[in-house]
């Protein structure tokens, strides 16, 4: 197992944000976290990045606890893709991706030839090499997301963590980003775990789905199994229909339940 | 980054300009010394020649004891202000910050005023007070901003504003209670000028400005990563608090040293890095830091040349930089191309 989340609980104060989360991800695995706003998806991802410290439980990457290794070493095995953001200063696309080499350079050194070639390789991987001199603020949202992914990959991580990689993207860019993530994970034999709002994208582009609600896992497993009408109703409080279309499932939301469902 | 030919020419000119301006500055001064004589004095000094001297001894004193230390101080000052400004703008992710944001200027001003009001009129004591209070102000800002071991940019900015206004209030109290003739001393100190510089002051500020600037220059690529949000920088493997403290400390060291000998010189730290960013359309601190250092040195030296030779009496250079800096900044804001920062 590449990534093991073992009995993880997290709380800011008394109330638990996450309760006894258990997830295992293999090499080449793409995991989607589904769940309504405030269900703990981002909190869980931040725990994996060690930006938040869990109250109980542990996270292992290749059998090593990620809380027992230094920050710099950790950045070589975990690549984090934050939600699309707008930095104030506009680095060029290449300089931006080059930041992924930070864990490999010391405080007073400059990136080497090797660092440049790694960054260029990743730019080619996300098909943005032709934009390397373009300013970060002058490119589209989809391309920015790809640049953030390229930067994380330049860290040469074993685990890629993505916080809503398709948020604010149009249909074409959603497809593009998800296809590239899947391709890279398979090719580089790493694993990815991401939060996702669109169950249809999760169905199509992941091989494991975890549904969170109020900080607890209410369903986990193969996409075709986990995505069912009961689970969608339980997680989101909506009435949805699952349509089977040529061996491909589609989630079709119908209406909001008048009252919150409890079971 | 690929630059067009004219931009490249500007780049090389900027790197070369301090040498050029330093050279010409030796010829400029209150007392007119013929250019040929100046040249002959310099050449005979460099090669330790002892020809029959056709010039008064006073000329040598003016060139080597008055003009030269002043020129070097202005160069050091330009480097200190623009490099610290550029670095702070990167770590604060804000193109409008300067060392004043950390309370350094207000602290130093209070320190100097305190020394003057306590009748410690020896310039060295005034400088020491200014330096120490500059560092104290920064330390206070940092400690106030630190909550539960975490220092956030927004708390630093707020703490800086609070500490600055506290020290400004204390400065006002001093101005209010001291004898009127000392008020004039304080005001003159606050204005920012190089007229009191001798080799003693130059030697005093040279080590801290060199050390601080070298630290910031060494971290020029790191500053790119430090200009990302804290969480992002952490996931890139950076110990954000520690490295940011190093940047803030180095910036405080260079600016407090400079302020301690020549008062408060505004706008250079804001205008220079900003102009470089706009001119070369870059946010890469590997370019901004060295280019700002060279340009800052040239501009401050140029400003000081004007300050000491334009009118029959000397204008404090701090007034000049503010007088030119503020409208120029306004012009840049109106004209700024989209995307360099927003």
Give the burial class of B57: count Cβ atoms within 10 A of its Cβ; 0-12 exposed, 13-18 middle, 19 or more buried: exposed
Which chain A residues contact residue B222 at CB under 8 A? 102, 107-108
Q: What integer is the mean pLDDT of B127-153?
A: 86
Bridge partners of A10, per DSSP, are A18
A75 part of contact set with chain B, CB < 8 Å: yes
* Two tokens, residue A93: 């696309």
A74 part of contact set with chain B, CB < 8 Å: yes
A99 part of contact set with chain B, CB < 8 Å: yes
Is residue B1 very low, low, confident or very high in pLDDT (cuts 50, 70, 90)? Answer: low
- Other CB atoms within a 10 A radius of the CB of residue A167 amount to 15
The pLDDT, as a whole number, for residue A69 is 92
Contact call for B218 and A108, based on CB within 8 A? yes
Tally: H helices and E strands in chain B: 15, 2
Enter the DSSP assignment of B88: H
Does B100 have pLDDT greater than 90?
no
A100 part of contact set with chain B, CB < 8 Å: yes
Q: What is the rounded distance in angstroms from the CA atom of residue A189 to the CA atom of residue A210?
A: 21
Distance from CA of A258 to the nearest CA of B (A): 39
Pairing of strands A159-162, A78-81: parallel
Q: What integer is the mean pLDDT of B85-94?
A: 91
Distance from CA of A64 to the nearest CA of B (A): 17
Distance from CA of A234 to the nearest CA of B (A): 32
- Residue with the bigger pLDDT between A86 and B286: it is B286
H or E element: which one contains B147? strand B146-147
Contact B329, B274 (CB under 8 A): yes
Q: How far is CA A84 from CA A43, A115, B159, B162, in A?
A: 17, 24, 29, 33
Mutate to test the interface with B, among A88, A108, A147, A162 (most CBs of B within 10 A): A88
On the CB side of B67, how many CA atoms lie within 13 Å of its CA? 24
Contact call for B281 and A75, based on CB within 8 A? no
Contact B248, B142 (CB under 8 A): yes
Q: Report DSSP letters for B16-61, one per residue.
A: HHHHHHHHHHTT-SSS---HHHHHHHHHHHHTT--PPP-S-HHHHH
The pLDDT, as a whole number, for residue B340 is 47
**Domain residue limits, chain B:** 5-335
pLDDT tens profile B211-236: 999 999 999 999 999 999 888 999 99
Contact A62, A27 (CB under 8 A): no
Topology at the third CATH level for domain B5-335:
ABC transporter involved in vitamin B12 uptake, BtuC (1.10.3470)
Q: Report DSSP letters for B204-253, one per residue.
A: HHHHHHHHHHHHHHHTTTHHHHHTS-HHHHHHTT--HHHHHHHHHHHHHH
Enter the DSSP assignment of B263: -
Does B80 have pLDDT greater than 80?
yes
Which chain B residues contact residue A75 at CB under 8 A? 235-237
SS (H, E, C) chain A: CCEEEEEEEEECCCCEEEEEEEEEECCCCEEEEECCCCCCHHHHHHHHCCCCCCCEEEEEECCEEHHHCCHHHHCCCEEEECCCCCCCECCEHHHHHHHHHHHHCCCCCCCCHHHHHHHHHHHHHCCCHHHCCCEHHHCCHHHHHHHHHHHHHHCCCCEEEECCCCCCCCHHHHHHHHHHHHHHHHHHCCEEEEECCCHHHHHHHCCEEEEEECCEEEEEECHHHHCCHHHHHHHHCEEEEEEEECCEEEEEEEEECCCCCCC
> Which residue carries 């060199």 as its tokens?
B210
Contact call for B237 and A72, based on CB within 8 A? yes
Q: What is the rounded distance in angstroms from the CA atom of residue A9 to the CA atom of residue A55?
A: 6
Q: How far is CA B120 from CA B49, B113, B115, B259, in A?
A: 43, 10, 5, 18
Which chain A residues contact residue B220 at CB under 8 A? 110
Which residue positions in chain A have pLDDT lower than 70?
Answer: 84, 86-88, 258-263
The pLDDT, as a whole number, for residue B289 is 97
Does B48 have pLDDT greater than 80?
no
Search chain A and give the residue with CA nearest B246.
Answer: A107
Q: How many CB pairs under 8 A join A and B?
A: 97
Contact call for B235 and A80, based on CB within 8 A? yes
Q: What is the rounded distance in angstroms from the CA atom of residue B287 to the CA atom of residue B284?
A: 6
CB-nearest partner of B236 from A87, A88, A102: A102
Is residue B188 very low, low, confident or very high in pLDDT (cuts 50, 70, 90)? Answer: confident
Search chain A and give the residue with CA nearest B86.
Answer: A89
Q: What is the rounded distance in angstroms from the CA atom of residue B267 to the CA atom of residue B288?
A: 17
Helix (H, G, I), strand (E, B) or coil at B150: strand
Q: How far is CA B15 from CA A164, B11, B19, in A?
A: 45, 6, 9
Which chain A residues contact residue B288 at CB under 8 A? none
> Which residue carries 């004219």 as its tokens?
B6
Contact call for B224 and A91, based on CB within 8 A? yes
- Other CB atoms within a 10 A radius of the CB of residue B312 amount to 6
Search chain B and give the residue with CA nearest A137.
Answer: B339
CB-nearest partner of A99 from B219, B220, B224: B224
Q: What is the rounded distance in angstroms from the CA atom of residue A105 to the CA atom of residue A76?
A: 11
Distance from CA of B152 to the nearest CA of A (A): 14
Is residue B55 very low, low, confident or very high in pLDDT (cuts 50, 70, 90)? Answer: confident
Contact call for B228 and A109, based on CB within 8 A? no
Classify the complex by whether its ipTM is higher than 0.95, answering yes or no: no
Please state, for a pLDDT cut of 90, what percent of chain B lies above it: 55
Which among A98, A93, A144, A133 is positioned nearest to A117, based on CA atoms? Answer: A98
Which chain B residues contact residue A79 at CB under 8 A? 235
Does B50 have pLDDT greater than 70?
no
Search chain B and give the residue with CA nearest A103.
Answer: B237
The pLDDT, as a whole number, for residue B153 is 79
The pTM is what?
0.91
Contact B78, B299 (CB under 8 A): yes
Contact B293, B217 (CB under 8 A): yes
Maximum distance among all Cα pairs of chain B, rounded to whole angstroms: 72
Distance from CA of B95 to the nearest CA of A (A): 9
Contact call for B236 and A100, based on CB within 8 A? yes
Q: What is the rounded distance in angstroms from the CA atom of residue B106 to the CA atom of residue B125?
A: 18
* Two tokens, residue B25: 């500055």
Handedness of CA A79, A82, A84, A85 (dihedral sign): negative
- Yes or no: is domain A3-227 CATH 3.90.420.10? no
A108 part of contact set with chain B, CB < 8 Å: yes
Q: What is the rounded distance in angstroms from the CA atom of residue B246 to the CA atom of residue B155?
A: 17
Q: Report DSSP letters for B282-309, one per residue.
A: ---HHHHHHHHHHHHHHHHHHHHHHHHH
- Residue with the bigger pLDDT between B340 and B146: it is B146
Which chain B residues contact residue A133 at CB under 8 A? 1-2
């Amino acid at each position: 197992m590449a990534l093991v989340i073992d009995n993880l609980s997290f709380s800011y104060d008394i109330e638990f944000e996450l309760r006894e989360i258990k997830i295992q991800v293999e090499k080449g695995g793409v995991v989607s976290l589904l769940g309504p706003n405030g269900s703990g998806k981002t909190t869980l991802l931040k725990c994996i990045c060690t930006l938040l410290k869990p109250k109980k439980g542990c996270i292992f990457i290749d059998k090593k606890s990620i809380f027992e290794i230094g920050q710099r070493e950790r950045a070589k095995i975990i690549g984090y893709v934050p939600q699309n953001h707008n930095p104030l200063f506009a680095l060029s696309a290449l300089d931006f991706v080059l930041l992924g080499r930070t864990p490999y350079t010391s405080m007073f050194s400059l990136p080497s030839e090797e660092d440049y070639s790694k960054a260029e390789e990743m730019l080619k991987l996300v098909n943005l090499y032709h934009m390397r001199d373009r300013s970060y603020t002058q490119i589209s949202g989809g391309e920015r997301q790809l640049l953030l992914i390229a930067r994380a990959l330049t860290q040469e991580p074993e685990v890629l963590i993505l916080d809503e990689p398709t948020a604010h993207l149009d249909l074409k860019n959603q497809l593009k980003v998800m296809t590239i993530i899947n391709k890279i994970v398979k090719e580089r034999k790493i694993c990815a775990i991401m939060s996702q709002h669109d169950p249809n994208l999760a169905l199509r582009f992941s091989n494991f789905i975890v549904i969170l609600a109020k900080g607890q896992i209410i369903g986990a497993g193969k996409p075709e199994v986990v995505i069912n009408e009961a689970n969608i109703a339980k997680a989101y409080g909506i009435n949805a229909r699952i349509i089977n279309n040529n061996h491909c499932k589609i989630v079709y939301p119908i209406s909001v339940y008048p009252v919150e469902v409890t079971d | 980054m690929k630059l067009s030919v004219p931009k490249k020419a500007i780049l090389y000119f900027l790197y070369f300009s301090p040498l050029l301006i330093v050279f010409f500055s030796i010829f400029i001064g209150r007392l007119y010394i013929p250019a040929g004589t100046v040249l002959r004095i310099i050449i005979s000094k460099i090669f330790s020649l002892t020809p029959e001297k056709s010039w008064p001894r006073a000329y040598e004193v003016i060139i080597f004891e008055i003009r030269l230390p002043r020129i070097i101080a202005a160069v050091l000052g330009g480097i200190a202000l623009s490099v610290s400004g550029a670095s702070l703008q990167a770590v604060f992710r804000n193109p409008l910050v300067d060392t004043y944001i950390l309370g350094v200027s207000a602290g130093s001003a209070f320190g100097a005023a305190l020394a003057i009001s306590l009748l410690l009129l020896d310039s060295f004591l005034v400088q020491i007070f200014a330096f120490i209070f500059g560092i104290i102000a920064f330390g206070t800002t940092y400690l106030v901003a630190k909550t539960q071991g975490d220092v956030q940019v927004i708390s630093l900015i707020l703490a800086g504003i609070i500490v600055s206004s506290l020290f400004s209030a204390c400065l006002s109290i001093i101005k209010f209670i001291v004898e009127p003739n000392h008020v004039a001393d304080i005001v003159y100190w606050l204005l920012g000028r190089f007229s009191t510089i001798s080799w003693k002051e130059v030697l005093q500020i040279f080590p801290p400005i060199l050390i601080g600037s070298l630290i910031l220059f060494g971290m020029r690529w790191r500053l790119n990563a430090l200009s990302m949000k804290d969480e992002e920088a952490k996931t890139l493997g950076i110990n954000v608090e520690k490295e940011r403290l190093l940047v803030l400390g180095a910036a405080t060291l260079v600016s407090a040293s400079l302020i301690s000998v020549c008062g408060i010189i505004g706008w250079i730290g804001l205008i220079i890095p900003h102009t470089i960013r706009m001119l070369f359309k870059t946010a890469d601190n590997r370019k901004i830091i060295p280019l700002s250092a060279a340009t800052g040195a040239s501009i401050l030296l140029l400003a000081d040349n004007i300050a000491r030779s334009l009118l029959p009496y000397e204008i404090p250079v701090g007034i000049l930089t503010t007088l030119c800096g503020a409208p120029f900044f306004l012009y840049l804001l109106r004209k700024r191309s989209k995307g360099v920062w927003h």
